[in-house]
Chains A and B, each alone.
Chain A
């Protein structure tokens, strides 16, 4: 009689306990799923849904004694890992189950070469001669399609780019041909074009090695690209498990539906009539960073970087201009030059005909209120030691309003962004990420700006919150007749908010055009490359 082979990984009734005083009692509750050979299972959820904890539980890496498996089984080829000895787990980890992490910079040891780190894995799990290990390492580096393995093997992590580092991590993880690869948001820290390559690599290696991949992500686009099956998690519970196709196009659970509804589509929104009045004109803006050189030139050759290189942009009244680019493209530098946080080296910033660039602090003061900024990180952008009301009211006060007027205005703004007036007396840490971003927007709006510069305002937020904040921004822009410069790396988001889009690379604007136009017939090869790299570009979220 033929016995049916047990699944590669079988998680049964898994409960992971959180320490007393945590937000909820369990990080994971009653998880039940299997991972088969040669399959990519995506675990999707928003932050705090327990998806990373699940991965750590499988690896036996939970931060004990605070967080531990309370009950349930994790069966790996029939062997219960929750009861395995520490010795056995050490064998399994890196050998039979291996893991890649979100940030390859912190996951790699900065003082060891890539070769050494791959070598370490092989040395621990196998008895091979030095030369054989080196050959194996070279082969692995070749497998993950890193150029010039002989050079890479002797490189330190900081000498590689983000994508190359992640490839090196993958080489390490695959060194012992594991049966299971756990990938915890492996592409979240990478640029879209790099992300597309890494996803392809993972898929390719998984196919050729018959590996089971447990892929953790928050991005439905990524799911659409690589998943065979999907587990959707919410607050530590599994709400849906099904084939990828089903989950993406025919979600059953209300939560999955709402998540998928929040994913911005790639179809550009309808064009709006835009007035021809110029609000802001940036021409030939250049910002140069110099490093090295040092005092009297002792520290070697000077390194010159054009963060923005002769950038020309025009913002019309009531329009949202998207600035899209990958990390290092100079889009944030551009934003900071426009709000005069950074002094540009050359060019003009014409606000209604006045050039703001050469203005000194005092001369800039009257224009401060006109151009305001919303920041990326809702946790870093609010002073943790000040009450929310004061954070918002400080702006008008420093521009000469009385304390009373400023506070009245601040309360109004809190209401405008959809927060309770009682928020006034509370501290930032009492609010969630999305609420904090609303506070940040209220702060910018109290000064009654005409131009709002938003630097990646939603990239630190979960999709459902992201959708709310984008709606709020659009609503405010229309109600207050604002013009907006919207900086983002996410073409999905850009397609939903922007009237026009400028694509930046290496400090230069490569292409600019109306959103729909740009999406339909981009002429510049880089724009095409960006568009092609958007995860899940072939998947259209179902209309609901």
Chain B
């Protein structure tokens, strides 16, 4: 509860959390609010919002935009969260090993990381999805592959600063194994920055996913916000709502996650606590 008190001090973070919760609820209740396939043709194409029974209008083929947004929330959040989990795990393993052992292991692992960092991440993601078949798992892999180097760098820095602390040396002297020292002693001490970086990464992952779907590289069987925008792109001037509402959904979600991430940073990083 002490944590909640610290988090609450950042007003905008609480606001972000509220939006995020709303998006989560929307995603969870999508199939109750809008039963059936969001791809199905629900009525008159190009209906404006509020007409023909469409809350947020319909697209060129008569699909319900509101239904798409609700179901798309599931996709975005799922991919955002999964990709982040995979990226963080990869990053922690690479960064942890490099930071803990140092020397040539560090050199090799960091050079590998740099190779990934030098390729523009979005192009790299497109390339990966284009090579593997577009599907949820390939998109998750693509996003994770372009995101983990940042985590690896962060974790490496933390491990380097912690590995020579006296409490770690004390563990060496008691004969504790390296794996145990890395996981049980050092890792808990660098969880805060990892959580903050991870939460911000979810937002980036959602953006990349939307971008990929917009370009038609998303999973063709699953609705997503990026796909909706892509589908409405050609009719932007005659049917503005098709692009606009999914766009607003992306904007709000990413904003919310960034605000929450910022709030977590303030709450978890004790040095910033006095800043207000």
- CB contacts under 8 Å to A, within B199-254, are none
Report A-chain residues with C-beta under 8 Å of the C-beta of B167.
Answer: 380-383, 391
Partner of A341, one of B173, B177, B185, B189: B173
Please report whether the interface of chain B is mostly helix, strand, loop or mixed according to DSSP.
Answer: helix
Which of A372, A380, A447 contacts B166, CB < 8 Å? A380
Asked if A421 is at the interface (CB within 8 A of a chain B CB), the reply is no
Place the interface of chain A in its size category: 20 to 34
Considering only CB atoms, which chain A residue lies closest to B187 in the complex?
A: A385
Tell me the A357-403 residues at the B interface (CB within 8 Å). Answer: 364-365, 368-369, 371-373, 375-377, 380-386, 391, 394-395, 398-399
A398: contacting residue among B166, B174, B188, CB under 8 A:
B174
With contact pairs A385-B188, A385-B189 given, residues A380 and B173 touching in the complex (Cβ less than 8 Å): no
What distance in Å separates the Cβ of B95 from its nearest Cβ neighbour in chain A?
18
Q: Is the CB of B170 within 8 A of A398?
A: no
Tell me, yes or no, whether B271 is within 8 Å of chain A by CB.
Answer: no
Known: A385-B189, A398-B180. A365 touches B166 (CB 8 A): no
A342 to B269, CA, bound (A): 33
Please, what's the 1-or-0 string for B150-186, where 1 marks a CB less than 8 Å from any CB in chain A? Answer: 0000000000000001110111111111001000010
Bound: A368/B177 CA distance, A: 12
Report the nearest A residue to B186, measured CB to CB.
Answer: A383
Residues of A within 8 A of B170 (CB): 373, 375, 381, 440, 443
Q: Are B185 and A447 touching (Cβ within 8 A)?
A: no
Distance to closest chain A CB from B28 (angstroms): 33
Q: Is the CB of A394 within 8 A of B166?
A: no
Flag if A373 contacts B173 (CB, 8 Å).
yes
Whether A398 contacts B173 by the Cβ 8 Å rule is no
In chain B, what residue has the closest Cβ to A364?
A: B175
Closest CB-CB distance, A453 to chain B, in whole Å? 9
Contact A341:B174 (CB < 8 A) given known A375-B166, A380-B165: no
| Interface assignment of A497: CB less than 8 Å from any CB of chain B | no
B84-110 residues at the A interface, CB under 8 angstroms: none
Q: Which residues of A contact B166 (CB under 8 A)?
A: 375-377, 380-381
Q: Is the CB of B169 within 8 A of A395?
A: no
Chain B residues near A373: list those with CB within 8 A: 169-170, 173
Most chain-B CB neighbours within 10 Å: which of A364, A372, A377, A385?
A: A385
Residues of B within 8 A of A377 (CB): 166
CA distance A447 to B185 in the complex (A): 19
Determine whether the beta carbon of A399 is less than 8 Å from that of B172: no
Residue A339 is within 8 A (CB to CB) of chain B in the complex: yes
Cross-chain contact of A384 among B177, B180, B189 (Cβ < 8 A): B189
A372 to B15, CA, bound (A): 52
Q: How far is the CB of B272 from the nearest CB of chain A, in Å?
A: 15
Q: Please name the residue on chain B nearest to A376 by beta carbon.
A: B166
A271 to B242, CA, bound (A): 92
- Determine how close the nearest CB of chain B comes to the CB of A44; give it in whole angstroms: 29
A385: chain B residues within 8 A (beta carbon):
188-189
What is the chain B residue whose CB lies nearest that of A375? B166
CB within 8 A of A372: which of B171, B173, B189? B173
Question: Once bound together, how far apart are the Cα atoms of A383 and B188, in whole Å?
Answer: 9
B175 with A365: CB separation less than 8 A? yes
With both chains docked as a complex, state the minimum distance between the C-beta of A48 and any C-beta of chain B, in angstroms: 19
How far does the alpha carbon of A171 sit from the alpha carbon of B170 in the complex, in Å?
42
Out of B165, B175, B185, name the residue touching A399 (CB < 8 Å): B175
Bound Cα distance A175, B77 (Å) = 64
Which residues of chain A from 319 to 373 have any CB-CB distance to chain B below 8 Å in the complex?
Answer: 336, 339-341, 364-365, 368-369, 371-373
Q: Which residues of B contact A395 (CB under 8 A)?
A: 174-176
Residue in A380, A398, A440, A443 whose CB lies within 8 Å of B175: A398
Give per-residue flags for B136-155: 1 if the beta carbon is below 8 A from chain A beta carbons, else 0: 00000000000000000000
In the assembled complex, which residues on chain A have CB atoms less than 8 Å from the CB atom of B172?
Answer: 341
Q: Nearest chain-B residue to A374 (Cβ)?
A: B170
Is there contact, CB below 8 Å, between B165 and A398? Answer: no
CB distance from A217 to the nearest CB of B (A): 26
The residue in B170, B180, B185, B189 that gathers the most chain A C-beta atoms within 10 A of its C-beta is B170
Query: In the complex, what distance in Å separates the CA atom of A386 from the CA atom of B188?
Result: 9
Per-residue interface assignment for chain B, residues 2 to 44, with 1 indicating a CB less than 8 Å from any chain A CB and 0 otherwise: 0000000000000000000000000000000000000000000
In the bound assembly, the distance between CA atoms of A371 and B170 in angstroms comes to: 12
The chain A residue with its CB closest to the CB of B166 is A381
**Cβ-closest chain A residue relative to B190:** A385
In the bound complex, residues from chain B placing their C-beta under 8 Å from that of A440 are 170
Q: How many angstroms from the CA of A368 to the CA of B173 in the assembled complex? A: 6
CA distance A385 to B174 in the complex (A): 18
Residues on B with C-beta less than 8 A from A381 are 165-167, 169-170
Once bound together, how far apart are the Cα atoms of A335 and B157, in whole Å?
A: 27
Chain A residues positioned under 8 Å from B176 (CB to CB):
394-395, 398
A285 to B114, CA, bound (A): 40
- In the complex, residue of chain A having the shortest beta-carbon distance to the beta carbon of B175: A368
20 contacts between A and B (CB under 8 A): A339-B173, A341-B169, A341-B172, A368-B173, A369-B175, A372-B173, A376-B166, A377-B166, A380-B166, A381-B167, A382-B167, A383-B185, A384-B189, A385-B189, A386-B185, A394-B176, A395-B174, A398-B177, A443-B170, A443-B174
Q: 14 new A-B pairs (CB below 8 Å) besides A364-B175, A383-B185, A395-B174?
A: A339-B173, A341-B169, A341-B173, A365-B175, A371-B173, A376-B166, A383-B167, A383-B188, A384-B189, A385-B188, A385-B189, A399-B175, A443-B170, A443-B174
**Chain A to chain B: the 4 pairs with minimum beta-carbon distance, closest first:** A395-B174, A381-B166, A368-B175, A385-B188
